[in-house]
Amino acid sequence: MQNRLTLWAVTASLAVVSSPALAAPGPFFSLRNTDFVVLIAFLIFVGVLLYLKVFNLLGGLLDKRAAGIRDELDEARKLREDAQAILASYERKQAEVQEQAQRIIDTSKREAAEAAEKAKADLQVSIERRLAAAEDQIASAEASAVKEVRDTAIGVATAAARDVVAKQLTAEDADKMIEDAIAEVDTRLH
C-alpha cells in the first residue's frame, strides 16, 4: 500500500515538473505535442504496471527478501548464542579440568609427603630393631666370652687345686671331705 502511494507521488511530481518545460508549440493536450504523447505513454506504462500488479510483486519480492534476510539474521544470532553457550561450556569444563588436575597434583604431593614420612618412620624402626639385635648379639657374645673365661678359669683353678690338694691331702682327709660333701648334698636335696 505504501509502495502505491509512493508511485502516485512520483507520477504526480513528474507531471508537475514536466509542465513548465513544455517547449512544444501549440496546445498541450494534442497528439502533436511530444510532451503530451510522452506523458500519455508514461501514464499508460504506469497503468499497465499497476494493472499487472508489478509494484505489488516487486513489494512482495522485496518483503520476501527482507524476511529472508531477517530469518538469516535471526539464525545467525541464534548460532552466535549457541556458539557463546558452547564456548562458555568449554571454558567451564576447562576450569573444572584445571581444578581437578590441581586437586590430583595436591593429592599426589600430599601422598608423596606421607609416603616419605612413613618411609622415614619405617627406616627408623628398622634401624632401632637392628641396633637392638646388634646389642643383643653383643650382650650374648659378652656373656659367652665371660662364660668361656669363667669355665677356663674354673678349669685352671680346679686343675691347680687338684694339684695342690693332691700334694697336700692325705687319704684320711680325702675320705673326710667326701663324707662332708655327701652330707651337704643330702641336706640340700632334702
145: confidence class by pLDDT, cuts 50, 70, 90: confident
List of residues 6+ apart from 166 with CB closer than 8 A: none
**Helix or strand run (H / E) with residue 109:** helix 54-168
User: For residue range 72-111, what is the model confidence (pLDDT) as tens digits?
Assistant: 999 999 999 999 999 999 999 999 999 999 999 999 999 9
User: Per-domain residue ranges for the chain?
Assistant: 2-110
- pTM across the whole model: 0.39
List of residues 6+ apart from 11 with CB closer than 8 A: 42, 43, 46
